[in-house]
Amino acid sequence: MKVIIACGGTGGHLFPGLAVAEALISRQHQVRLLVSDKAVDSTALTASTICSGPSPVDVRAVSAVGWDGSRRLIHFCHHLTRAIKDCADVYGEFEPDAVLGMGGFTSAPAVLAARWRGTRTLIHESNAVPGKANRWAGRWADHVALGMAECARFFGRKPVTVTGTPIRSALRRGKVADVHEQLGLERGRLTILVAGGSQGAHAINEAMGCALPRLGSWRDRTQFVHLTGTRDESVVRETYKKNGQLAKVMSFCNQMELAYSAADLVIGRSGAATLSEIATFGLPSILLPFPHAAGDHQLHNARAFEQAGAAQLIEQEQVPQLYGTTGERLAEAIVGLLKDDRQRARMAAATLTLAMPDAEQRIAMLIEHYAN
């Protein structure tokens, strides 16, 4: 079987797409990837074993398509037509049996081109609220795979399956035994992982800076792993030093299995990929959704975890001058969970119930069903 996976544009689309590609290859199928020309795609693909091994998967870049409003309709139509042609050219050469769109601007033209060709099409939506591309592509897809059950209502009578969101293979292997030694951490302390996504999150970094002085009484019992993004690394490192807190501060971590293995509590954003990783490791979390996410999907994702008893939700102040208010609430939430071992254990157990560690295999089986 030959499968096209359109998965470029952001890590939230690309990494799950790569996970599905790995699953299909392990099941003896041929895969070709459609991505964007963004740096995030090239960086991730360079590090991926399926793209750099002895028999690398073929990768093609397609034109970017983004809806900027009706005032730029002609511009949009031009780029959409070009992207559909890019996809059609690949299909004419590769002749896929099925096309999977992972969402984002590479997904919709790939699904539309496949539909016109008569090829079976599926899409995957990770979030509790679908993005514009998947709302549109969902009209033509034969089936919709969902990361969260809450999203089903947006696709009407379209057949849907809750598969979960695929995560990278390194994260599916479980906890790393000697993680404290690898990260230079002390055993016996409660470890708090602070992560704002692959690019970091300035607002979370600022809020933690405001929260740290309020955690002084826990200084000897806690330690932090903080992923800051490039811009704030030195400032955040100095903030921990000033407050006497033991911390491993990094701009980026390309071995997230280490960070999750060390963590007793996670503070971070609520993108679907991040939540899938947190669930796989069964970690309690304090979630600060990115307030400008499309359709406010991160807030809806976080609410789903909060309602399941898996996380505490703090809505980030959108005005930079009020990040201190967010920091006060964050400090209060951290202290409350540090004091209550049972509450953390209950949240961890609830988080595990949301995990679907075989999501990539579920999606692969769906593709096989429709392609055959």
User: What are the tens digits of pLDDT across the range 66-77?
Assistant: 555 555 666 667
Note the pTM of the prediction, 2 decimals.
0.89
Q: Which residues, listed in sequence order, are joined to residue 33 by a DSSP beta bridge?
A: 5, 59
* C-alpha dihedral (40, 41, 46, 49), degrees to nearest 10: 120
Average pLDDT along the chain, 372 residues, taken 10 residues at a time: 91 90 95 86 76 78 64 66 89 96 90 95 96 91 96 95 93 90 95 82 92 95 95 95 96 92 97 95 96 90 97 80 79 96 98 95 97 88
Domains of the chain are 2-167+357-371 (3.40.50.2000), 173-353 (3.40.50.2000)
Give the pLDDT of residue 198: 60
Q: What is the dihedral of CA 325, 327, 332, 337, to 10 degrees?
A: 150
Q: Name the E strands within the chain.
A: 2-6, 30-35, 58-61, 98-101, 120-125, 143-146, 160-162, 190-195, 222-227, 247-250, 265-268, 285-287, 311-313
Residue 346, pLDDT score? 98
Q: What pLDDT score was predicted for residue 200? A: 61
- Residue 113: phi and psi, rounded to 5, are -65, -40
Q: What share of the chain is helix, strand, coil (3-state, %, to 5)?
A: 50, 15, 35
What's the confidence (pLDDT) of residue 319?
52
Q: Is residue 208 helix, strand or coil?
A: helix
- The Cα 270–Cα 126 span in angstroms is 11
8 A C-beta contact, residue 222 and residue 189: yes
- Residue 289: both structure tokens together: 């959704």
